[in-house]
Amino acid sequence: MASASADPYPDDGSPTKETLKNKQGLSLACFLWEVQQPKFIVVGLHGYSAHAHIEWMMHPKLTYEGSWAQKFNKAGASLCAYDHQSFGRSEGWHGYKATCQHFDDFVDDAHLVIKTVRQRTKSQGRLPLILLGMSMGGLIATRTTQTDSEGDIDALILMSPMLSLEKVKAKPINRILLPLLGAVSAVLPNLALGEKEESPFPEEREVEQNDPYFYKGRIRTRFAKENLAGVAKVEADLAKVAVPMLILVNPDDTLVEPDGAYRLHKEASSKEKTLLEFPDRWHALHHEPGNEVIFEHTIEWIKKQIGPDN
């Protein structure tokens, strides 16, 4: 591990900042908000366009005070979060932003971070490890759990996970374009496609527009192709999710298709699986007005999983 460069968020609670090299040789920016004697570990995976700080810091000023990082710390957990390759301060394939060579590269990176955290905390015993994924991070977290052959992950939490693209594929224009996507993405991997829907909350839009690391460009052809591949892999292996699982969704989410979350909840082989609906929200449940209740539900569920001694 090498030290990561200084970041522009002066009130982020001073996490340990490190850089991991993944199997592609790309640098991943990692951040660890540690407590002295953790009861459990949370590894947080951010969504598309985002990065670790904009996902887990308190909005609108991206501060530690009031953030999910602070709340986890107060609950006795260390939080590890990182920028996916090509997002935030992490390097990308061929230097591209907001894309990948293969979807599984995101999954390999998640396993690398989890292994690194396990190694870092092994002197404290085997602590429960919770994998927390938001939106696209939920897709990556689900696939990481499905491929966790060594049992590093003890529980899975998904917020507004992007687990279905059926409605996207069904659009008339996409029925024409999708058969061509593989060939186009191979030749023009950065060709811009559609734009991502913006938050309906003006304050959230301002946070995103003013942040230097938030990706503001269009979705790229290569990312679209690999994202479809990732969703297909997850859908084919829903029963392979066997750890305790909490899913938090807005059934009327317009940014992702909630149908995939409902299918996962139904077909996962987990003995403990809970799905909570928040129909009065949009997509970013942890930042929108009234988000405090989202964390309360989350931490209450975690405590039930890790036992009374924690």
- CATH of residue 252's domain is 3.40.50.1820
Element (H, E) at 41: strand 40-45
Number of H helices, E strands in the chain: 10, 9
Distances (CA, A) of 249 to 76, 205, 252, 270, 277: 25, 21, 9, 18, 5
pLDDT of residue 221: 83
Decide if 146 is inside a domain.
yes
Residue-level pLDDT at 172 = 43
* Percent of the residues in the chain that have a pLDDT greater than 90, as a whole number: 80
**pLDDT digits 0-9 by tens, 171-187:** 544 544 555 566 656 66
Residue 195's SS3 state is coil
pLDDT for res 73 = 98
Q: How confident is the model at residue 166 (pLDDT cuts 50, 70, 90)?
A: low
> Given this model, what pLDDT does residue 6 score?
56
Q: Is the pLDDT of residue 1 over 60?
A: no
The residue among 94 and 172 whose pLDDT is bigger is 94
Would the pLDDT of 77 be above 80? yes
Token pair recorded at residue 136: 């696209």
Which helix (H) or strand (E) segment holds residue 117: the answer is helix 103-120
Give the up-direction half-sphere exposure of residue 274: CA atoms within 13 A in the CB hemisphere.
Answer: 14
Q: What does the pLDDT average to over 127-145?
A: 99
Residue 107 lies in a domain: yes
Higher-confidence position of 212 and 174: 212
What was the pLDDT predicted at 186? 67
DSSP letter assigned to residue 102: -
- pLDDT-derived band at 2 (thresholds 50, 70, 90) equals very low
Domain annotation covers residue 64: yes
Which 3 state secondary structure label does DSSP give 78? strand
pLDDT in tens, 40-75: 999 999 999 999 999 999 999 999 999 999 999 999
CA 303 to centroid of chain Cα atoms? 21
Higher pLDDT, 79 or 186: 79
Can you give the pLDDT at residue 171?
54
Cβ atoms 77, 40 nearer than 8 A: yes
Contact 275, 249 (CB under 8 A): yes
Does position 188 have pLDDT exceeding 70, yes or no? Answer: no
Whether residue 285 has pLDDT greater than 60? yes
Please tell me the predicted confidence (pLDDT) of residue 5: 52
In a domain, 114, yes or no: yes
Look at residue 310 and tell me if it is in a domain. no
Give how many domains the chain has, as a whole number. 1
Print the domain residue range for 246.
2-305
Q: Considering only residues 297 and 174, tell me which one the structure prediction assigns the higher pLDDT.
A: 297
Q: What percent of the chain has pLDDT over 70?
A: 89
Q: How far is CA 130 from CA 40, 141, 149, in A?
A: 8, 10, 16
CA geometry: angle at 161 spanning 240 and 236, to 5°?
30
Q: Strand 77-82 relative to strand 129-134: parallel, antiparallel, unpaired?
A: unpaired
Nearest-angstrom CA–CA distance, 117 and 113: 6
Position 280 in a domain: yes
Query: What average pLDDT score do residues 150-156 get?
Result: 98
In a domain? residue 171: yes
User: How far apart, in whole angstroms, are the C-alpha atoms of residue 172 and residue 23?
Assistant: 39
Query: What are the strands of the beta sheet with 27-33, ordered from one edge?
Result: 2-3, 16-21, 27-33, 77-82, 40-45, 129-134, 155-159, 245-249, 273-277
Q: Is 66 helix (H, G, I), strand (E, B) or coil?
A: coil
Strand ranges in 9-152 using DSSP code E only, listed in sequence order: 16-21, 27-33, 40-45, 77-82, 129-134
Residues 9-32: what's their mean pLDDT?
97
**pLDDT for the residue numbered 56:** 99
State how far the Cα of 146 lies from the Cα of 149, in Å rounded to an integer.
8
Say if 18 falls within a structural domain.
Answer: yes
Strand partners, 146: none
For residue 87, what pLDDT band results from cuts at 50, 70 and 90? very high
pLDDT for 277 equals 98
- What mean pLDDT value characterizes the chain? 91
pTM: predicted TM-score of the whole model, two decimal places: 0.92
